[in-house]
Amino acid sequence: MRVQPRARRNLALATGVVLSLSLLAACSDANSNRDNKGGGNGDGVLTVGMPNGPQANNSNPLLETSAGASLGYRAMVYEPLVMTNGIAPEEEGKPWLAEEWSWNEEYTELVLTVREGATWSDGETFDAEDVAFTFQLLKDHAGLNAGAIPFEEITQDGNQVTLTFSAPQFVNQVKIYQTYIVPEHIWSEVDNPETFENQDPVGTGPYTLKTFTPQTVTLTRRDEYWQELPEVEELRYTGYNDNNAATTALANGELEWSYVFIPNFEDVYLSHDPENHNLWFPTGLGIHGLWINTEREPFDDVVLRQAMNMVVDRQAIHEQGHAGAFPVVESPTGLPLPAGDSFLAPEYQGATVERDVEGARALLEENGYTFQGDTLRTPDGDPVTMTLVDPAGWSDYLTSLSVISDNLAEIGIDASVETATVDGWRTSVDAGGFDATLHWTNGGATPYDGYQHVMDDALLKPIGEASPGGNFGRFASEDAGEALRAYADATDDASRTEAMDEIQRIFVEEVPMIPTVASPVGAEYSTRHWVGWPSEEDPYAPPQPTQRNALEVVLNLEPADG
C-alpha cells in the first residue's frame, strides 16, 4: 500500500460536502417548468417522496420496516429525546423531549429529565411515564430493540427517568437518544407491539395523519405543539415506483424533497430550474466499499487483499459510479473526512491511499504469486478469478463494480460482474455466498459502528449460516473483536483512543473490505416555495427526509415569498 500525505483539495471535497449546485449556468430549457407548480403548490403544502414503491398501512414508529420509516413521515408524528446531528457527530445534541441528560462515569446509567408541557396529538398529557414505558417496551420486545440495548432497570420518579445497563453504552448513546417515544395510554393496550400497525398514530410531533393510501400519505399540522408551530401546514408523502419516477417528479417540480440517486444530475435535475433546484450530500461516518469474503480461497490471503486495495480507482468510482455525489474515501483507515478527523490515529493523520499498480504486482510476486500472460496465479499455481455481485437496477453499484473489474484486471485477476434480485442478493450476502460485493457500512456518532459492522468476531458465522448483523465477509480476527470490545467497554477517553487506534491499524493492515466512497446523508430539495433548508453554509442537520432530523428541517422552513 502506498500512503501519501493528503493533498489540498477543493473546498467541497475538503469539507465532505459535495454538492450545492443551484447556481449552474442556465440551459435552454432551464425555465421550462418555472410555472409548473406540480404537487408543491405553495399554499402551505410540502411534497416529499422516496423511490420505495407502494406502502402498506403501517405507522409503527419503532419498526424500521413500516411505511412511516420508509417514507420518513414518522419523524413528523413522533419525537426523540435528543435531536442529534449525524453530519456533526462531535456535537452534543439539542434537548427535545428530554431537557437534560447525564451519564455516570462508566456509561452504565443514564438519567433523563423529561420535558414538561408537551401533549400527545389526542390531547393527553405527555410525561416521564411515557418515556419509561417506551424503554420498557424495548426491553421486553427484542423485535423493537433494533440496537440490542442491554437494558437492566428502568425507573421513573417525577419528571426523571433512570435507565441502567448491563454493559457500558458509550457507543450506543445516540441510539438511545433517538428512540421515538410512544404514548403509554394507547400502547399499553396493544397485545403485540412488534406487529402493531398503528394505523391511527398519536405522537407528540406537530403533525397528525390525515389520509393514507399505498401511493400517498398526507399529514396535517395540528393546532397545539410544545414548540412554535411549523409554517408547513400539510405534508404529502409519495412512494414512487423507482428512481426514474422520483427523478422525473423532482425535475418537473411535482416533488420538492427527496433522496434518490440521479446519474447526470446537472442535466436531469438541476438544469430544469437552476434557481431553485438544489442537492446537498454531506457525509457522516458511514461508507460504501467492496466487502471481500475472507473465508473463501484465495481471498483469505491478506497479501491478495492488500494488492486489490492498492489498485482500486476510487476517483473513477466517485465520478462514474456515483456521479460525483459520494465523496472519495481517501484515508487508508476508511474514515470519511472531515467527519472522522478527530478519530484518526496519529500514524494515519494526513495520509491517503494512492493507486499503485506496479507496487501491487511487486507485492504479489514477492509473496509467491506469478503472472502467466495476463493471468495472476496463486502460489499453488491456480488462476485468480472472482465474481463481483450486486442487485440488478442498482446502477451506481454496478457501474462501480465495472470499474473495479477493470482495475483488478491490471493485476491479472479475472473479475466478472453479475447481478441478482435484491432479495436473492440480501440472502446471499447474509450467508456469505459471494466472492465480493459492494455494500455500505453502518454509521453512527463514532467510527465504532462502521468498524464493528465489518470486523466484529461476535458476528462471525460459518458460510451458509446467516449473519444479518454484519461481518458478511467472515473476517475472523480475535484482535479486532478484542479492540472493538475494549472501545465499547472503555470508561475513559484515553482507553477509547488506544482501542480506536488499534482498530484502525487492523483495518488498514488486514483489509477486511476496501473502502471506496463516503455514504452521504443527502437530499434533493426545491427553494421555489420553501426556504431554510440545511446547506453547506448552514449545516444544522442532515437534509435526508427519512432521518429523525427531518422534523428539525421542517421546523426551519419558511415560505419563499416571505
Does residue 10 carry a pLDDT above 80?
no
Share of the chain above pLDDT 70, in %: 93
> Is-contact 44 299, C-beta < 8 A?
no
Q: Which has the minimum average pLDDT: 41-45, 314-318, 516-520? A: 41-45
What pLDDT score does 531 carry?
Answer: 98
| Domain range 207-282+521-559, CATH class | alpha beta
Q: What angle in degrees, to the nearest 10, is found between the helix axes of 478-489 and 493-510?
A: 160
- Domain 284-520: CATH superfamily is Dipeptide-binding Protein; Domain 3 (3.10.105.10)
Q: Give me the mean pLDDT over the 156-167 stretch.
A: 97
Q: How confident is the model at residue 445 (pLDDT cuts 50, 70, 90)?
A: confident
| Domain range 79-195, CATH class | alpha beta
Does residue 25 carry a pLDDT above 80?
no
Q: How confident is the model at residue 224 (pLDDT cuts 50, 70, 90)?
A: very high
DSSP string, 497-559: HHHHHHHHHHHHHH-SEEEEEEEE--EEEE-SSEE----SSS-SS---TTSTTHHHHHHH-EE
Count of CB atoms situated within 10 Å of the CB of 50: 22
What pLDDT score does 42 carry?
Answer: 61
Q: How confident is the model at residue 464 (pLDDT cuts 50, 70, 90)?
A: very high
Q: Give me the mean pLDDT over the 223-248 stretch.
A: 95
Q: Give me the mean pLDDT over the 127-150 stretch.
A: 93
Tell me the per-residue pLDDT of 69-110, one tens digit each, with 9 for 90 and over. 999 999 999 999 999 998 887 788 999 999 999 999 999 999
Domain boundaries, the chain: 79-195, 207-282+521-559, 284-520
Whole-angstrom distance, CA of residue 220 vs CA of residue 124: 19
Does residue 17 carry a pLDDT above 60?
no
What pLDDT score does 20 carry?
Answer: 37
Average pLDDT of the chain is 90
Q: How confident is the model at residue 379 (pLDDT cuts 50, 70, 90)?
A: very high
CA quadruple 203, 208, 214, 215: dihedral positive or negative? negative
Strand partners, 264: none
Q: Give me the mean pLDDT over the 215-230 stretch.
A: 97
> Is-contact 268 30, C-beta < 8 A?
no
What pLDDT score does 142 carry?
Answer: 87
Q: How confident is the model at residue 53 (pLDDT cuts 50, 70, 90)?
A: confident
Which residues lie closer than 8 Å to 14 by C-beta, 6 or more apart? 8, 338
Q: Which has the minimum average pLDDT: 138-142, 274-278, 389-393, 514-518? A: 389-393
What pLDDT score does 264 carry?
Answer: 84
DSSP string, 407-431: HHHTTT-EEEEEEE-HHHHHHHHHH
Q: Give me the mean pLDDT over the 542-549 stretch.
A: 94
Q: How confident is the model at residue 41 (pLDDT cuts 50, 70, 90)?
A: low
The reply to whether omega before 338 is within 30° of 0 (cis) is: yes
- CB burial readout 319-343, b (16+ within 10 A) else e: ebbbbbbbbbbbbbbbbbbebbeeb
Does residue 13 carry a pLDDT above 60?
no
What pLDDT score does 217 carry?
Answer: 98
Tell me the per-residue pLDDT of 259-289, one tens digit each, with 9 for 90 and over. 988 888 999 999 999 999 999 988 889 999 9
Q: Give me the mean pLDDT over the 424-434 stretch.
A: 92
Within 13 Å of residue 550, how many CA atoms lie on the same side as its CB? 32
What pLDDT score does 146 carry?
Answer: 78
Whole-angstrom distance, CA of residue 402 vs CA of residue 404: 5
Q: Give me the mean pLDDT over the 304-321 stretch.
A: 97
